[in-house]
Structure 1
């Protein structure tokens, strides 16, 4: 018994150390970004930096609002495309599809989640961009092209997490609904989806975090023009693309401004994760 107790105690302490290290690393990362970003905020002013409309390192202008807008537009359009398809697919696989079909599609969806973003980017370059160019004119590199590919990239994440949320709904809830005379669709609409809603919302928010943090595919498809977007076919530069494009040669205040951009992106993603935790706790308390 003492040996077993010692083993359990060591495992608990080891897990606590690993968790603590993860938290410490995140805090250190935040502190490092803050230290590097402060000169940019001091030079430009926080409001001028966040809401400025011009980004020109050669002229000493560092305003990231067009890039914030570009990131938001690309991400929201990707969600509009991905969320209905993801939830419908998850409901079909968990509630309607036979077991053999579910077992066929589940590994395919998991494989999609593991495909490198550069492959999605090449797919967008060879198929999506030419279609947009021929349909709407322009270069084809646009918010829409990036959003379509991002929607494909976040589909597996939202589908898998939504499936887990639906699968966690107790079986007796469904049996009670059927016992009251509900058909399958009524049971899904009135019982399964409302009970699984906290997990579905979490899946959407995590998909949102994945989309807003994506770099390479967006870099290949969005056009990378640092102007405020006027339509979904406009080229745009996102926060992540801006960092990836310019970090290699940035010096001085330009270098600090890129860290400030990373800090703003970090804060946005942190807010999304906090919103996810809040919604989970809120619905858990209701339950």
Structure 2
């Protein structure tokens, strides 16, 4: 596999799509999930319980217990806590919650999150939905639910958990500088319904009050627009490295070549200059909220 294709595979788009149509637990989380499953099986058999019997006692079906023990399903924290209590494991099963929680996020998202965790300055242009860092839970859920081919309920929950985990960058210390340019249509399109959009606009106004966050709106009426090639991000890491991230249908690409990164930086700078100022943008979002 070429380097470019490998990079596309390792990262996922910020919207409701991804580079893979199936739940892939055969990544680096696979051995962990199988180990957790084996441990639960050992404790269950030592307690003299069948899979259906354990399922009944912890509030799950026997099929789910079987899938967890085989490493095919990712157990939720309450599953592990209840299994720990019923099997009298004295915290040994519950102790796996943190590791399993990280495994719940798709590998592609985990890799991108590692970069974001080392970012000191991030700029993002979004042209078809509100950027993932700014989404409310119900807005993000609506995106995942409308995705085609459809996600399963488990995959929706997995993707949603990953999306919300990435939003911790807003609260991280030391705080990175975060700037966003939202295409006007993303603030008018009622994805999930009118009330979902209202609460999303309210969320934008709240996040914009953070001193390390600036949100700008790109009006549809602009006659000059440097973002016609699509949405992208520019990430400046704490080691001085600058990277780009470009998104498209089914694929996303991490950009590391300095000449290409420089082009994205230039384009993002022009996009910010062409958009409404942060103060004007907040006034415009308030106006849209009043109309919604």
TM-score category of the 2 structures, normalised to the smaller one: under 0.3
Which has more strand, going by share of residues?
Answer: 2
Larger radius of gyration: 1
**Structure (1 or 2) with the greater helix fraction:** 1
How does the TM-score come out when normalised to structure 2? Answer: 0.26
